[in-house]
């Protein structure tokens, strides 16, 4: 394997700033694979939050029979909708794996954005839900937004909104059951989902900010994200769709890093970079709090949505 100097910057803001004058610009340029803040949210708080989500029947306990409503609500692997399409597209061919289920708490622009009215109505419900999901002093969304604002040094981090004030979902909680897998892909409202007409379309760069709430474990294995040192270009599409990205990366000598995270760890990465999370079918689902982030170095505001 090629020796790489492409390494995550971590474990805290102080170290990140010592390594990068403008960490978000470094992320935008692809100079650093990820900015990692370890234990941004205490592990016990992660656990308490998951217990609350199960008690509120927003998630299910995999050790019990799966309630019907979750089977209907699950998002199939790799699904998103492009432009105004009602029909879902697939970022990769997931085959016909069963039992791999993703449950979202919140509103996904990628999945729901083809119908703006329905999307903003759903986002409203998510804003209300998120407003009373967290107890005072234990708000992981606040922690994520604050960390991002600190990383930007001088910018203002706000939930994405349209000029008329309609807001997007502030963040999303995703539970991945049964070894749900993200195959190599990229995320971009501009380049992939083609969300013209949405305010988030106007940013030059898109990042993800993800806080791990629970991991899945099978023996020594846990599910972790792999970031490839490869920003999306149109000619990579055939490899992403055809499932041959690993062969392509090997033949081109593309470096990668695995970002090994524990519950409570927060990481930011550039979603134009090809990334994946191979599933691990442990007893518990991998649960994350996830956001997308719109960033332009010449804009004062940073938009966050889900």
Ligand X SMILES: O=C(O)CCC(=O)C(=O)O
210 binds, among Fe ion, ligand X, none (CB under 5 to 8 A by kind): ligand X
Binding site for Fe ion (CB under 5 A): 187
Give me the least distance between CB of 156 and ligand X, in Å please: 25
Choice between 190 and 275, CB closer to ligand X: 275
Residue 91 binding: pick among Fe ion, ligand X, none (C-beta 5-8 Å cut-off by kind): none
Dist CA 213 CA 305 (whole Å): 18
User: Cα separation of 175 and 284, whole Å?
Assistant: 9
Q: Can you give the binding site for ligand X, defined by CB under 6 A?
A: 182, 187, 210, 225, 275, 277, 288, 290
Cα first-last separation, the chain: 35
Report the partner that residue 80 touches, choosing among Fe ion, ligand X, none (CB closer than 5 to 8 A by kind). Answer: none
How many CB atoms neighbour CB 117 within 10 A?
Answer: 8
Query: Which option in Fe ion, ligand X, none does residue 277 bind, with CB closer than 5 to 8 A by kind?
Result: ligand X
Helix axes 140-152, 43-55, angle to 10 degrees: 140
CA separation for the pair 146, 81 (Å, rounded): 30
Residue (133 or 144) nearer to Fe ion, CB:
144
CB of 290 to ligand X, least distance (A): 5
User: Between 90 and 166, whose beta carbon lies closer to ligand X?
Assistant: 90
Burial of 189 (0-12, 13-18, 19+ CB in 10 A): buried
Q: State in angstroms the smallest separation of the CB of 88 from ligand X.
A: 15
Residue 24 CB, shortest distance to ligand X, in Å, is 18
Q: Is-contact 36 287, C-beta < 8 A? A: no
CB nearer to ligand X: pick between 16 and 290: 290
Q: Which of the listed partners (Fe ion, ligand X, none) does 148 bind, with a CB threshold of 5 to 8 Å by partner kind? A: none
Contact 100, 182 (CB under 8 A): no
């Amino acid at each position: 394997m090629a020796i790489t100097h492409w390494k995550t910057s971590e474990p805290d803001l102080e170290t990140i700033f010592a390594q990068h004058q403008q960490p978000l610009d470094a992320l935008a340029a692809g100079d650093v694979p990820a900015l990692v803040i370890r234990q941004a949210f205490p592990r016990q708080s992660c656990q308490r939050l998951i217990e609350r989500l199960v008690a509120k029947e927003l998630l299910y306990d995999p050790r019990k029979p799966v309630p019907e409503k979750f089977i209907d609500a699950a998002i199939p692997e790799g699904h998103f909708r492009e432009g105004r399409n009602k029909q879902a597209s697939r970022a990769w061919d997931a085959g016909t794996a069963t039992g791999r289920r993703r449950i979202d708490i919140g509103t996904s622009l990628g999945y729901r954005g083809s119908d703006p009215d329905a999307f903003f109505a759903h986002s409203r419900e998510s804003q209300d839900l998120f407003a009373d999901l967290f107890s005072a002093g234990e708000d992981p969304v606040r922690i994520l937004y604050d960390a991002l604002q600190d990383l930007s040094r001088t910018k203002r981090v706000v939930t994405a909104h349209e000029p008329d004030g309609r807001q997007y979902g502030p963040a999303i909680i995703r539970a991945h059951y049964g070894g749900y897998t993200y195959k190599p892909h990229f995320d971009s409202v501009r380049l992939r989902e083609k969300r013209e007409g949405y305010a988030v379309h106007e940013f030059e760069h898109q990042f993800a900010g993800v806080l791990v709430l629970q991991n899945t474990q099978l023996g020594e294995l846990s599910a972790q994200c792999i970031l490839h040192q490869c920003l999306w270009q149109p000619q990579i599409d055939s490899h992403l769709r055809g499932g041959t990205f690993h062969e392509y990366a090997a033949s081109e000598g593309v470096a990668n890093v695995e970002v090994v995270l524990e519950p409570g760890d927060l990481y930011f990465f550039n979603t134009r970079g090809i990334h994946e999370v191979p599933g691990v079918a442990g007893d518990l689902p991998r649960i994350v709090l996830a956001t997308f982030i719109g960033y332009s170095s010449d804009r004062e505001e940073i938009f966050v949505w889900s």
